[in-house]
Each structure stands twice: as structure tokens, then as C-alpha cells.
């Protein structure tokens, strides 16, 4: 199954957190890291004053079921010191399943496509690097979502 995973960090050397997370994702069982976008900096979305985020998107091929993939990603977050104390608070690492093939998933633990993806240029821009012609399970096109997405001081970081 082709999946797209959003990565984000705004604590403890965010770019290094993302590079390490990509290495960990490449080691997930029954999975292969196919590609990943460049890194982007953006203003934090969440409570209080927070450092800017560094974000990217990875394309992963996996035979893991959606919730098994979620478990694996949450284990990677934990190994990177992720604490879940404040919703949308600062974090060392955030890994979100954005898309899982052409499936729509709505369980107590997982909603795919990611429910706020269309509002986040720090997700859509790197996703467009990997799959500019992407169409979502509901028929929407990535290019249209990107045109209608609110700006957020987003800029691509130098490699």
C-alpha cells in the first residue's frame, strides 16, 4: 500500500529529528521508504508561543495494516522523546498518516485522509513535491487544495 506520512518537529534540532525519523521509518517491518520531500519551515499552529516547525512528507510502501502502521509511527515518536501533554503543543516529533492508498478510514484511533490536511500548506507543499497529480479518495485534487490553502509563512529550507 502506498502511504504518505507527514513529519514535523519544532524541538531539539527539528531537522535532525526529521532525518532520524526517516531512518527509523525505513526500518519499519514490511515497509519501504520510497521517497521524501525537502524540508520546510513554517510558523507553529497551536497554543502559546512556539518555535517554528520543520516539516516534510514521506512516501512509504507498506504491507502493514493502517493501525499497525500507526503503532509503528507512534513508537518512533516515543523513541524521539514525544510527549502528548498539550494538544497541538510543541513537540520533538509528530508523524501523521496523511493518506493510506485510496482508503478512507475513520476509527477511534485513526482518520485518513488526515482531517486537517487541506488547511495546512506545510503538508500540501511537500506532498506536491512527491505527487503533484495526486487525487484524494473523495475526488479532490491536490493542486486545487493547494491553491485554496491559507498561507503560513512557509519556506523551503536549503538542503
DSSP output for 80-136: TT---SSTT---S-EEEEEEETTB-EE-SS-EES-TTGGG-HHHHHHHHHH-TT-B-
Which candidate in 82, 87, 106, 156 is catalytic? 82
Active-site hit among 52, 79, 87, 94: 94
94 annotated active-site: yes
Is residue 106 part of the annotated active site? The answer reads no
113's grid cell: 485522509
Closest CA to 60 of 159, 142, 130, 143: 130
The residue annotated as part of the active site, out of 84, 91, 102, 156, is: 91
Q: Which of 96, 138, 140, 153 is labelled catalytic?
A: 96
The answer to whether 71 is a known catalytic residue is no
Q: Confirm whether 82 is a catalytic residue.
A: yes
Return the active site residues: 82, 91, 94, 96
Amino acid at each position: 500500500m502506498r502511504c504518505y506520512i507527514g513529519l514535523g518537529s519544532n524541538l531539539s534540532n527539528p531537522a535532525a529529528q526529521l532525518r532520524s525519523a526517516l531512518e527509523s521509518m525505513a526500518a519499519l517491518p514490511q515497509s519501504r521508504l520510497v521517497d521524501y520531500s525537502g524540508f520546510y519551515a513554517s510558523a507553529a499552529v497551536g497554543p502559546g508561543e512556539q518555535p517554528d516547525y520543520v516539516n516534510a512528507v514521506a512516501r512509504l510502501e507498506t504491507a502493514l495494516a493502517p493501525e499497525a502502521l500507526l503503532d509503528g509511527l507512534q513508537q518512533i515518536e516515543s523513541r524521539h522523546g514525544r510527549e502528548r501533554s498539550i494538544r497541538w503543543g510543541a513537540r520533538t516529533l509528530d508523524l501523521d498518516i496523511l493518506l493510506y492508498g485510496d482508503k478512507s478510514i475513520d476509527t477511534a484511533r485513526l482518520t485518513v485522509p488526515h482531517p486537517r490536511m487541506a488547511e495546512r500548506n506545510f503538508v500540501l507543499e511537500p506532498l506536491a513535491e512527491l505527487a503533484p497529480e495526486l487525487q484524494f479518495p473523495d475526488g479532490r485534487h491536490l493542486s486545487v487544495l493547494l491553491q485554496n490553502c491559507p498561507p503560513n509563512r512557509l519556506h523551503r529550507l536549503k538542503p
